[in-house]
Structure 1
Amino acid sequence: MSTTITTPAADETCAYCESRIFDHDPVCVRDCSDECGSPTYFCNYACLLAFVEENELTTGDACEWSPE
């Protein structure tokens, strides 16, 4: 499987706050558990974190740790 990487358009907006991503420190996320679909762009890590928390994307996805 291969993924093509392209530079987003200059006016691409953040998936969370809708700011232009290149006005900030952009982050690109791609869900590769779903056939590496289209990338989602965030203007910075804070917006990515807020998006993950609001959509409960970590629920049930974290490894379980035991001191034993």
Structure 2
Amino acid sequence: MSTTASAPDADETCAYCGSRIFDHDPICVRDCDDGCGSPAFFCNYACLSAHVDENDLTAGDACEWSPEE
């Protein structure tokens, strides 16, 4: 499977807060477990983190770690 990446429009807005992404430190995210659909753009890591938390996107996806292992 292959995907292509292209630069977002200059007026692209954050998928979480609606701010223009290029006014900040933008991040592009693509869900390749779901057919590699359209990318989502976030203006910074805080908005990406809030989006992940609010949509419970880490449930069942994180490795478990124990210092005893």
For normalisation by structure 2, the TM-score amounts to 0.91
Off by >3 Å, runs of 4+ in structure 1: none
CA deviation string 1:3-61 (max 9, x = no partner): 11111011100000000000000000000111211100000001000100111111111
Stretches of structure 1 that go unaligned for 5 or more consecutive residues are none
**Structure-to-structure mapping, 1:1-68, within 5 angstroms:** 1-66=1-66, 67-68=68-69
| Paired-residue identity, % | 76
The RMSD of aligned alpha carbons is 0.9
Aligned residue identity for 1:25: D
Q: How many residues align?
A: 68
